[in-house]
Amino acid sequence: MNAVTDVKGWCPGILRPMASGDGLIVRVRPRCGAFSLETATALADLAERLGNGHIDLTRRANLQIRGLTDDRLTELQIELAKLGLLDPDAATEAVRNVMVAPLAGLDHSQRINVRPIALAIDDALTSDKRLHALPGKFGMLVDGGGAVSIASERSDICLAAVGETLAFGLDTAKGTEWLGTLPPARAAEAAIAAAHAFLAVATRGRMRGLSEAAFAQVQAAVGLSPMAVLPAAGGRRLGLLDGAVGIAAPFGRLEAGQLRQLVKLAAEAGAADLRLSPWRAVYFSVREEAGVFLLEEARDAGLIVEENDPVLQVEACPGAPDCKSSSVDARGDARRLATIAAVRGWQGSIHVSGCAKGCARSLPSDLVLAGKAGAYRLIRNATTRGPVERIISVEEFETLFGERRND
């Protein structure tokens, strides 16, 4: 198999699962980035009963159940329908790629409660059949500012609070280009208008791949001019926050039992729901005393509650044996690499990929290791598609940071 040409161009869903090395993968897309605690518990139970118990948190703030077999897929779909998580068809499901700040509606420091805007966009994507032609990975981002902002994340169409207004941005090869501001009442309408304008000039690819002329047509459909003040980035993402806690899963992997226990403790602490984020972390709204206890339990369960944890420096896909495109244990090797980097005091970003597809991270990293035939391609300051410096083995990891170049 050629790992480069095997890029799917779409994400798995409940109605369109994706085959991998450990079975079928089903992605469950929450509405407005949240699951009720009852639903989260049910998902943990289903992952354990019908899958292999492995749950992945994705960069698009979704949840994936792994290890399903064909004969159990129908049962899972029936159970998810009972939970209200099944869309009417695969096209509707695939277009619902709306990422919302995890503490939207909960964070008292946020400028705007963007949950109604995110829901309006989700409703429009669901009901307008013309939008079902959007490419499978085309996404939107909605951020209300506050302590845990996602405004610095990339998405094809971005809405982020600036004062009492929302900045409107489109993704480009160089990052988000913020076009101007608009009142919250116009935000959902503008996002949908931009999506229609994109379809008028392209049927494949992403916003960042448009020609200059095509991009200008999308910009004209929104009718905004460049702005001077950009959305502010958020602060600390993990640990004890103002009225909430943030807990990350190492490389995005949760076991069903971990999720079930987390949700049980969160319910006892008074949380109403589980919020997802693009950082492979979950959030619960709880009081400080209960939050401290919840974080202690999460740490004991092997989860990440501190932002200086060396594992957070490294992004990694599942690798072998979970992924059939990989010949290396990407996550196991990534954990080893994180330990070495921490000991050496290396501060750069690291991406460990099981193959050349680079599923865990699409942006460049300071150091990239892309699996090939049981070893790794060494790439610097690029994505997994960058120029290969040399091939290295796991045993050579110790040499990497001494070789780091300063240019």
Ranges of each domain in the chain: 18-91+235-300, 111-144+152-222, 310-403
Q: Which residue has the higher pLDDT, 350 or 9?
A: 350
User: What is the reported pLDDT for 233?
Assistant: 73
C-alpha–C-alpha distance, residues 358 and 38, integer Å = 34
Q: Which two tokens stand for residue 323?
A: 């992924």
What number of CA atoms fall less than 13 Å from residue 362's CA on the CB side? 15
Q: Which two tokens stand for residue 406?
A: 């300063």
Residue 77 predicted with pLDDT over 80: yes
| Residue 89 falls in which region: left (phi positive, over 0), alpha (psi -120 to 50) or beta | beta
Encode pLDDT of 291-349 as tens digits.
999 999 999 999 999 999 999 999 999 999 988 889 999 999 999 999 999 999 988 99
Identify the CA nearest to 106 among candidates 284, 229, 279: 284
User: What is the reported pLDDT for 406?
Assistant: 44
Report the DSSP beta bridge partners of residue 180.
Answer: 168
User: What is the reported pLDDT for 125?
Assistant: 98
User: What is the reported pLDDT for 402?
Assistant: 67
Q: Give the mean model confidence (pLDDT) for residues 91-97.
A: 96
Residue 226 predicted with pLDDT over 90: no
Residues 6+ apart with CB under 8 A from 185: none
C-alpha–C-alpha distance, residues 146 and 140, integer Å = 19
Question: What is the CATH architecture assignment of 310-403?
Answer: 2-Layer Sandwich (3.30)
Averaged confidence pLDDT in the chain: 92
C-alpha–C-alpha distance, residues 136 and 201, integer Å = 16
CA 380, 349, 407, 393: dihedral to nearest 10 degrees? Answer: -40
Residue 392 predicted with pLDDT over 60: yes
Residue 134 predicted with pLDDT over 70: yes
Q: Which residue has the higher pLDDT, 228 or 25?
A: 25
User: What is the reported pLDDT for 405?
Assistant: 43
User: What is the reported pLDDT for 108?
Assistant: 87
Question: In residues, how long is the chain?
Answer: 407
C-alpha–C-alpha distance, residues 381 and 363, integer Å = 10
- Percent of the chain with pLDDT strictly greater than 70: 96
Q: Which residue has the higher pLDDT, 70 or 108?
A: 70
User: What is the reported pLDDT for 362?
Assistant: 83
Residues 6+ apart with CB under 8 A from 300: none
Is 201:217 a contact under the CB 8 Å cutoff? yes
User: What is the reported pLDDT for 224?
Assistant: 87
Site of tokens 């865990």: 360
Q: Give the mean model confidence (pLDDT) for residues 38-65.
A: 97
Q: Give the mean model confidence (pLDDT) for residues 234-247.
A: 92
Q: Give the mean model confidence (pLDDT) for residues 75-88.
A: 97
Q: Which two tokens stand for residue 348?
A: 């750069």
Q: Which residue has the higher pLDDT, 131 or 227?
A: 131
User: What is the reported pLDDT for 290?
Assistant: 94
User: What is the reported pLDDT for 230?
Assistant: 78
Fold classification of 18-91+235-300 (topology level) = Sulfite Reductase Hemoprotein; domain 2 (3.90.480)
User: What is the reported pLDDT for 236?
Assistant: 85
Residue 283 predicted with pLDDT over 90: yes
Q: Give the mean model confidence (pLDDT) for residues 63-81.
A: 97
- Percent of the chain with pLDDT strictly greater than 90: 82
Residues 6+ apart with CB under 8 A from 210: 198, 201, 202, 218
User: Among 231-240, 255-264, 290-299, which is the least confidently predicted range?
Assistant: 231-240
Q: Give the mean model confidence (pLDDT) for residues 9-18.
A: 89
- pTM passes above 0.85: yes
Residues 6+ apart with CB under 8 A from 375: 328, 391, 392, 393, 394
Residue 404 predicted with pLDDT over 90: no
Q: Give the mean model confidence (pLDDT) for residues 77-104.
A: 97
User: What is the reported pLDDT for 19?
Assistant: 93
User: What is the reported pLDDT for 225?
Assistant: 73
